[in-house]
């Protein structure tokens, strides 16, 4: 897929999958969507399209936090995980999770900060789950397990299935992406 064509390509991909599978939108219970954090444009396009699908099929929406989905898709021995997702340059989204059996508990709210600040928050014993942070992780000596885990539709679906009752939203008109950080346009405000 070429960059910046998501809005144009997404409806066609969805139609193709439905046609090939033999399902219609009315065969589903809900629409799963990554609610963030992530890129402003990507989250906006994904949520808008998901709302359109949910509305057209009178379906629930299941907004899944991206960092939770990344953590839930990994298997490792530890009980805590620091999840890092590269935003741009040296800026990283970060959240800490603990695990009790199959359940993941957020230890704090997700943050978006410079890598140096985030690195100081990470416990040396915690497993680090990341995507796009190879070069900044290589700068440090970690004693913990490091797992490269890109966000994926599979991980979102696993969390949505496990947490359907908890995350399901039927009044989704006010649902907005969780950007974590403020969006800056470079336009001066008056």
**Structural domains of the chain, with CATH:** 6-66+152-167 (3.30.420.40), 74-148 (3.30.420.40)
pTM score: 0.87
Among positive and negative, which fits the CA dihedral 21, 23, 25, 29? negative
Residue 187 has pLDDT above 50, yes or no: no
Residue with tokens 């298997």: 75
Please tell me the distance from the alpha carbon of residue 85 to that of residue 9, in angstroms, as a whole number: 25
User: 139-176, pLDDT tens digit by residue?
Assistant: 766 677 889 999 999 999 999 999 999 999 998 888 99
Q: Using alpha carbons, select from 37, 17, 38 the residue that is nearest to residue 28.
A: 17
Q: Using alpha carbons, select from 181, 186, 184, 149 the residue that is nearest to residue 36.
A: 181
Long-range contacts at 5-10 (CB < 8 A, ≥ 24 apart): 6/41, 6/42, 6/45, 6/46, 7/45, 7/49, 10/45, 10/46, 10/49
User: 22-32, pLDDT tens digit by residue?
Assistant: 999 999 999 99
Q: Using alpha carbons, select from 128, 37, 144, 125 the residue that is nearest to residue 81.
A: 128
Q: What integer pLDDT is reported at residue 88 of this predicted model?
A: 86
Residue 1 has pLDDT above 50, yes or no: no
Burial class for 39, CB neighbours closer than 10 Å (0-12, 13-18, 19+): middle
Buried b (16+ CB within 10 A) or exposed e, 124-147: eebbbbbbbbeebbeeeeeebebb
Cβ atoms of residues 85 and 93 within 8 Å: yes
Please give the share of the chain, as a percent, with pLDDT higher than 70: 91
- DSSP-based three-state secondary structure for 162: helix
CB proximity list for 23: less than 8 A, separation 6 or greater: none
């Amino acid at each position: 897929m070429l960059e910046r064509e998501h809005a144009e390509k997404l409806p066609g991909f969805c139609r193709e999958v439905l046609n090939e599978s033999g399902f219609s939108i009315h065969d589903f219970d809900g629409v799963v969507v990554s609610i963030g954090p992530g890129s402003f444009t990507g989250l906006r396009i994904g949520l808008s399209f998901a709302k359109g699908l949910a509305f057209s099929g009178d379906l629930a929406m299941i907004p899944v936090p991206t960092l939770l989905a990344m953590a839930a898709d990994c298997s490792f021995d530890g009980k805590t995980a620091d999840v890092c997702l590269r935003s741009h340059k040296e800026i990283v989204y970060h959240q800490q999770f603990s695990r009790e059996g199959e359940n993941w508990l957020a230890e704090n709210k997700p943050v978006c900060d410079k890598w140096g600040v985030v690195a100081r928050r990470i416990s040396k014993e915690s497993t680090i789950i990341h995507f796009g942070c190879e070069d900044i992780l290589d700068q440090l000596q970690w004693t913990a397990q490091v797992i490269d885990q890109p966000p994926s539709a599979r991980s979102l679906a696993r969390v949505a299935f496990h947490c359907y009752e908890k995350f399901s939203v039927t009044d989704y008109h006010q649902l907005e992406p969780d950007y974590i950080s403020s969006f800056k346009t470079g336009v001066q405000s008056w």
